[in-house]
């Protein structure tokens, strides 16, 4: 799928965000076809440029954390505390469709771009603010990182076992959820603007988005009054459903339906478990989960996990090995779907960079980045042309072209 055929082709995004939640949002918008220009602090840029496991890349301002979600974007250096740079930014805003920012609540207004000013510069602008707690409320000024949100959302309290909880989820899930919530809201606002012609302000709270994404864990308490507890690798809603012991390592099985349970028992050679009164129905199996798991684990240890994955999968029983991240990203399934894209490194070193897609195929084709992530300030000289093209006037020059040397 060519860039101009993508759903958000023609949508212009100014991205003031850094690190993860905001850049993840703008990466999703870029994959959908939007033109994204990162506005970065001169000489420093997005903090993610210095983050990642490769110290050499960090020193060169292209850390792995930055490379992961900034492909296909442009980079322009502007210092919004500088009057001239603010004037350039204001001109860019006049032609933008979307503004993304993840400053602490009130910071953008103190820089001279409150909602009234944004509306006066561009009544059709969709301004999206991504913060830990939202723009209002008693915690609106509190600093927040992913781990802080994981703790305050209750997520950590239900991760692990009764002995090990609370545990942090093994990746910055709240940042990703916040970014996805913001991207969804932006797309909805773009659609609404086609009807109304008016822009809007989107106030995204990572805390609220994360609690929303916890689904049944939260609704079990809100609806049924049952406080959730950590259940480790077991599914609290069904049994047998969780992680089991194959001959060579762990195996996930989710026999959540009656017919799946019965097929599982027959395939592992324990058809007698189907007629055991303790395991006759879902509630009974949940009540006697430990005894049922012991019986199944004894049978499952007879074969390797890959064998059970094939046998159970063929019978319609969800089952799969537990992979490492390298095994997961190298799987044939992802290769078949074109999920990972090879790009050149932005520094011209000749190295190849691999980045992920969104997991969505449009008309059978994956959405992949057209270009590698930008070097800091790589598109400084393009600002006058960008402003002219965005505003559609045929030539409004920027007040000045910022320089990465400043």
Q: How far is CA 272 from CA 104, 281, 295, 319, 334, in A?
A: 60, 14, 11, 21, 39
In sequence order, what are the residues at sequence separation of 6 or more whose Cβ sits closer than 8 angstroms to the Cβ of residue 398?
88, 91, 92, 383, 384, 387
The answer to whether residues 35 and 72 touch, using CB atoms and an 8 Å cutoff, is no
CA 285, CA 266: separation in Å to the nearest integer? 16
CA–CA separation, 29 vs 26, rounded Å? Answer: 5
Is residue 175 part of the annotated active site? The answer reads yes
Give how far Cα 147 sits from Cα of 132, 180, 226, Å: 11, 17, 25
Q: Which of 335, 355, 349, 362 is nearest to 72 (CA)?
A: 355
How open is the CA angle 88-37-180, to the nearest 5 degrees?
Answer: 130
CA gap 34, 146 in Å, rounded: 26
Phi-psi region of 128 (alpha: psi -120 to 50; beta: other; left: phi over 0): beta
Q: Report the C-alpha gap between 245 and 250 in whole angstroms.
A: 5
SS3 assignment for 45-92: CCHHHHCCCCHHHHHCCCCHHHHHCCCCCEEEECCCCCHHHHHHHHHH
Which tokens in the block code for residue 315?
Answer: 């019978």
Q: Which residue among 15, 85, 97, 175 is the active-site one? A: 175
Annotated catalytic residues are 175
């Amino acid at each position: 799928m060519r860039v101009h055929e993508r759903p958000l082709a023609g949508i212009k995004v100014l991205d003031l965000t850094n690190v993860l939640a905001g850049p993840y949002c703008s990466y999703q918008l870029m994959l959908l076809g939007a033109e994204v220009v990162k506005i970065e602090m001169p000489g420093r840029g997005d903090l993610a440029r210095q983050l990642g496991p490769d110290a050499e890349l960090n020193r060169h301002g292209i850390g792995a954390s930055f490379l992961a979600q900034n492909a296909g974007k442009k980079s322009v250096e502007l210092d919004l505390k500088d009057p001239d740079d603010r004037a350039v930014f204001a001109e860019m805003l006049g032609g933008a469709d979307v503004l993304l920012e993840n400053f602490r609540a009130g910071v953008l207004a103190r820089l001279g771009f409150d909602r009234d000013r944004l509306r006066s510069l561009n009544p059709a602008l969709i301004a999206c603010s991504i913060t830990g707690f939202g723009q209002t409320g008693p915690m609106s000024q509190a600093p927040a990182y992913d781990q802080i949100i994981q703790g305050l959302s209750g997520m950590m309290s239900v991760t692990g076992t009764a002995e090990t909880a609370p545990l942090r989820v093994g990746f910055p899930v709240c940042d990703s959820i916040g970014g996805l919530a913001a991207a969804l809201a932006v797309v909805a606002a773009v659609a609404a603007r086609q009807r109304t012609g008016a822009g809007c302000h989107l106030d995204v709270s990572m805390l609220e988005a994360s609690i929303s994404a916890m689904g049944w864990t939260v609704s079990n308490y809100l609806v049924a009054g049952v406080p959730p507890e950590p259940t480790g690798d077991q599914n609290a809603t069904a049994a047998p459903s969780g992680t089991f012991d194959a001959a060579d390592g762990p195996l996930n099985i989710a026999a959540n339906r009656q017919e799946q349970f019965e097929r599982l028992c027959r395939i592992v050679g324990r058809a007698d478990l189907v007629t055991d009164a303790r395991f006759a129905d879902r509630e009974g199996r949940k009540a006697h989960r430990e005894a049922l798991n012991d019986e199944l684990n004894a049978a499952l240890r007879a074969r390797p996990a890959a064998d059970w994955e094939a046998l159970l999968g063929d019978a319609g029983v969800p089952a799969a090995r537990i992979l490492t991240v390298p095994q997961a990203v190298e799987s044939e399934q992802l290769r078949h779907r074109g999920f990972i894209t090879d790009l050149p490194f932005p520094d011209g070193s000749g190295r190849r960079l691999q980045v992920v897609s969104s997991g969505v195929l449009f008309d059978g084709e994956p959405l992949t980045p057209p270009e590698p992530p930008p070097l800091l300030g790589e598109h400084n000289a393009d600002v006058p042309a960008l402003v002219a093209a965005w505003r559609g006037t045929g030539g409004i020059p920027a007040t000045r072209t910022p320089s990465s040397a400043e």
